Amino acid sequence: MWCQRLAWLLRGQRGSSGRRWPWLPRDPGPVPAVPVRCHPSAPASPRCAWQLHQDHLELRYGSTLMRLDFVWLRDHCRSASCYNAKTNQRSLDTASVDLAIRPQAVRVDETTLFLTWPDGHVTRYGLEWLLRNSYEGQKQQVMHPRILWNAEIYRQAQIPSVDCRSFLETDEGLKEFLQNFLLYGIAFVENVTPTKEDTEILAERVSRIRETIYGRMWYFTSDFSRGDTAYTKLALDRHTDTTYFQEPCGIQVFHCLKHEGTGGRTLLVDGFHAAEQVLRRAPEHFELLAKVPLKHEYVESMGGCHNHMIGVGPVLNVYPWNNELYLIRYNNYDRAVINTVPHDVVRRWYHAHRALTAELRRPDNELWVKLKPGKALFVDNWRVLHGREAFTGYRQLCGCYLTRDDVLNTARLLGLQA
């Protein structure tokens, strides 16, 4: 997996600038642990050992060595006086915890860590809970499981579209749709009545609609009603939308209501798959694309529309604790003047950008889809780039943006990892 390779790169390698990524902590190296017998109740219980240090507890559980700060251990206590299990909210005032706190007693059995604090308060942690929630445990996990794809991988997977009625009326249909969407970054719903109103009902099944400068539900014809290349009949190169927002829109919905003409196929490219190829072939390019902040800008002054939007961020965005890619911000149309990069970095950035662009433009990474009335497409705008071939004739599309948090919330409530 690319995130594991990147973690290896950042632990042991230096980029062309000769510096490690600033957000990664230095590896303190292995610290010998003092073994403690755990009295396992079952032969399969993982071996555990612990050792107290000046400001933290070192705990080995199974194959994972965790370093747990004493203040952290006091702050995350799940006792009734410190944590409200009904609301899942902390009751303890973190500012009241002595930053020099140290447990008076520590005990570990086969499943639980017990800590007694100077005031007599006892904190209990399940070892499995600590494994999931420690820094060392988190950096081994993936926030969002995905299947990276090119056109052939996606076609061979034969991902079925979900019927509109099943999607709207059953949890099973909605869950199947969301599982497809989470894994591949795109998902289709069939047999949708080709109207803007029915598309809106469809979208609201999974999320609140995000109202933007384009309104709530947008309705597209090629009349150049906005100062944007999208409102033409011209081809559009692959890109993600709203890169000029500080938080780009998470999901985009497309539904072709009518097309009397030729062309107009939709292009889809898995940006995370392309980024993985860059990491594999030139990790220094990946590192630069994840570090250098850029501005994207949208300016319009047509009719009654007056907007000036600026979003700032790197092309690739990764979680700092496990280096998992979670957002790609790629739009050559809207990228502003590069004035956030010193001269000795600019040329290297251009080389890195060219490497990513070459991967995004590889023909075998291009999935072409003809959108037709009745078939709605949901696209993860943080992952999958979209484009369009030129077209002739009259073409109507409608769609909207969805709030990412609400989509992920719906998925989690159905038992999916999101």
pLDDT of residue 198: 97
Question: What percent of the chain has a predicted confidence (pLDDT) above 90?
Answer: 77
* Domains of the chain and any CATH numbers: 48-137 (3.30.2020.30), 151-414 (3.60.130.10)
User: Residue 202 — φ and ψ, nearest 5°?
Assistant: -60, -50
Q: What is the pTM of this model?
A: 0.83
Residue 10 has pLDDT above 50, yes or no: no
CB-facing half-sphere around the CA of 214: CA atoms within 13 A: 23
Residue at token pair 């499981």: 145
pLDDT band at 234 (very low <50, low <70, confident <90, very high): confident
pLDDT of residue 302: 81
pLDDT of residue 290: 97
Distances (CA, A) of 211 to 34, 186, 244, 263, 402: 57, 21, 15, 30, 9
pLDDT of residue 371: 93
pLDDT of residue 223: 56
What is the C-alpha separation between 235 and 226, in angstroms, rounded? Answer: 17
pLDDT digits (tens, 9 = 90+) for 12-51: 333 333 332 333 333 334 433 333 333 333 334 567 899 9
Grouping H, G, I as helix, E, B as strand and the rest as coil, residue 264 is coil
Average pLDDT along the chain: 88
Residue 304 has pLDDT above 90, yes or no: no
pLDDT band at 208 (very low <50, low <70, confident <90, very high): very high
Both structure tokens of 361: 């433009």
Region 300-315: mean pLDDT is 91
pLDDT of residue 18: 33
pLDDT of residue 24: 32
